Structure 1
């Protein structure tokens, strides 16, 4: 048994993103190089691995939404895209995540919430930022954010 979830994000973001924001988002989805300055949207995944001498080392940060190719536990393919549209930016992502990574992901998700196209905001101020599905479930559940707080299903 595994604790793997499918995370699907499909968002329209506003057109007022800065060049720095776009560069970092491109890195977060695996479409660009890591910014040279500090990552503002979260460090991404950092793993501890053993080197050839048996020493434990930390890896460089990896993009939160950078998985690409066949999924490990959920059927189908993983991937992410950030594209400019006539009214702003479109982010599409399908990733596998572990519950231990939820807290690390929150910084990126809250940042997306703050930059989402105003048409996606519900009357109570919440935004369905994506969908989450445990790999054995048939139905996904809404991943909501309101007032900078992520409500995990």
Structure 2
């Protein structure tokens, strides 16, 4: 058994994303160079690993939505895209994620929630940022942000 879930994102983002914001999103989906701003890099995946000398070190930040190609557990294909639309931007992603990645994803989701199109925001101020399902479950559950808190299903 695996702790892998399928994460699906389909977000309409406002047109006022800065060039730096677009560059970060392109990095997060594996389509651009790493940003140089520390705040932006903090939304990347950093792992603690043991090096050849037995010391524990942190890896350089890595994108979190950059899986592409055949899926391991959920069948089908993984990938991400960021496209300019007539009214802003559209971010789409299908990824396999482990619960160890949730904390890193939260940083990215909270940041993204500030840029969603106003039509995406519910009357209570919540935003459905993605959908998630454990790889053996048939149904997706909404992943919602409310009051700057990610509510995991």
Shift of 1:110: 0.7
| Counterpart in the other structure of 1:65 | 65
TM-score, normalised via structure 1 length: 0.92
| Counterpart in the other structure of 1:25 | 25
Shift of 1:37: 2.6
Matched residue of 1:138: which SS? coil
Matched residue of 2:114: which SS? helix
Structure 1 residue runs of 4+, over 4 Å off? 49-57
TM-score, normalised via structure 2 length: 0.92
| Counterpart in the other structure of 1:40 | 40
Q: Which runs of 5+ in 1 are unaligned?
A: none
Deviations 1:92-137 (A, max 9, x none): 0001111121112111101111110001111111111110000110
Q: Counterparts in 2 of 1:103-118, with a 5 A limit?
A: 103-118=103-118
| Counterpart in the other structure of 1:93 | 93
Q: Supply the RMSD in Å over aligned alpha carbons.
A: 1.6
Shift of 1:3: 0.5
Contact 1:7/1:130, CA 8 A, preserved across alignment: yes
Number of residue pairs matched? Answer: 153
Contact 1:29/1:64, CA 8 A, preserved across alignment: yes
